[in-house]
Homo-oligomer: A and B are copies of this chain.
């Protein structure tokens, strides 16, 4: 059933009944209790803010009266965010703007008044594009005598508005929208909190990507790592080299991303404070490139007799021996730089197979002529080195997969290395940071690794600083990314597979250990090898909050799957 078929309506009965049932659903010790496995929180914030105190007293939000007041700087981005979140606040609570007429809350001792406006205090002018160093901290103050949200940056205002609407919930009797008197000081643990989507193994419709960005915003993820092309297909439409997608896409007009598509995605992301980092993975993972660019890939040689090897019709990585290939790459990345406003481009560099290079006599001649003695990792180094130096002249900063570091390639000091191989990832993080490089972790957040249910906890157990190293080394951890590779995922199962599992990574990337009281109560910090231990977390609290957050995503139109076992989303209707 499509999301379109889901109609949410408010109902007093609905919420009254839910409250009473919830009481009878307490787990009672023997076997399975009736009712949901985990009862969702009501107004729990995901990811958990650094510091938040709540009181029992609450204010009532009157949708027809409520507005955002701009007290500091203003801009289009801010105004469009207000209007989006105003819509989310109402629709996520399944409310029209009309409230119950009986105003039952007025008899409630905890009712302290109305919240008719939130003062938004932005202390510096709006920035236009989200970027690697953007500030996202904010303070949110909800009180009887005036409520405000403040930040030094428009991105902090965006994050604070997300927190604000998450805390505006229907009263238990369903009569009104309420928000607790509260104080929030929030700041992200890491600057880089990403999600990778792979649009090569399966093409993802633009609409799926836009919806993914919506869900990312709801979980305060701020980097869309777009693994746009790979061996299987080349959906990126290049103006300079149209044959790349004409011949390399699954289909030359329906399974491509045009410049207009890409601009739309970047703009949708910008409005949500999300960076779009494209990845053009070379020299391996490029088989689909070869369909459009003659001579780009290395012809592999084969034959039964080693003496008379001939090209066997198959192809390997980009041929690093040909000067014209670097000319092509220069022009290609020039266009990429024009289209993508982001400072960083991911250059890939993973899983380069040396078999084909080994088989090719021209490659071996080239290596001999250029004193590239030794193994083929040296040839890879030669290629990556030239590529990195080249994109540097285009003012592109680069991210690369860990193999580039493993193969000893000399890269600029501002290169970011992404760790993905599961085995030995702690050691890898340690070695990369020891050399002074900045690092991103993905090894423990591969969303294609499935188990039957509740497997978000294994993602939650991951901590990017869980490796042996000095405080200086830990400073080099920029964050991490959840990765949704596309071999078995397309638009039909993308949303349910990513959400809410990626939310576990989102919380571990946003919320400092200090945000969790159990952790802060320890007098001694844990040693590195125990720092990701879930003992530090009240997993019942986390589960209940994720149960609500998943329903929040569903209410916003995302097909997020159930995270915790049996249950339902309060207020869902068909």
Contact = CB atoms under 8 A, between A and B. Distances in A.
Interface of A: 1-5, 13-14, 17-18, 21, 24, 28-37, 200-203, 205-208, 211, 231-233, 247-248, 250-255, 287-288, 290-291, 300, 302, 312-316, 353, 355-356, 448-454, 486-493, 495-497, 554, 559-563, 565-568, 572-574
A355 B31 CA distance: 9
A30 B568 contact: no
A567 B250 CA distance: 8
Contacts of A24: 247, 291
A1 B2 CA distance: 8
B573 A254 contact: yes
A422 to B, nearest CB: 13
Contacts of A248: 34
Contact of A5 (B13, B207, B255): B207
Contacts of A488: 452-454, 561-563, 565
A35 B233 contact: yes
Given A493-B493, A496-B496, A30 B355 contact: yes
Majority secondary structure of chain A interface residues (helix, strand, loop or mixed): loop
Contacts of A254: 14, 572-574
Contact of A495 (B252, B492, B497, B554): B492
Number of copies: 2
Contacts of A355: 30-31
26 contacts: A2-B3, A2-B5, A5-B205, A21-B250, A28-B313, A28-B315, A29-B302, A29-B312, A31-B287, A31-B316, A31-B355, A33-B287, A34-B288, A37-B487, A200-B566, A201-B565, A201-B566, A202-B566, A202-B568, A203-B568, A207-B574, A454-B488, A487-B565, A488-B562, A488-B563, A492-B560
B202 A1 contact: no
Contacts of A568: 202-203, 233, 250-251, 255, 490
Contacts of A300: 30
Q: Top 8 nearest A-B pairs by Cβ distance?
A: A453-B488, A2-B2, A493-B496, A28-B314, A205-B574, A201-B566, A493-B561, A492-B559
Contacts of A251: 14, 17-18, 21, 568
A31 B490 contact: no
A35 to B, nearest CB: 6
Nearest to A488: B453
A33 B492 contact: no
A18 to B, nearest CB: 7
Most chain B beta-carbon neighbours within 10 Å: one of A37, A232, A573: A232
Contacts of A17: 251-253
The residue among A247, A254, A495 with the most chain B CB atoms within 10 A of its own CB is A254
A572 B249 CA distance: 14
A554 B492 contact: yes
Contacts of A36: 232, 250
A206 B574 CA distance: 8
A47 B570 CA distance: 40
B448 A1 contact: no
Given A251-B14, A492-B561, A568-B250, A30 B487 contact: no
B29 A561 contact: no
A17 B5 CA distance: 35
A126 to B, nearest CB: 31
Nearest to A33: B287
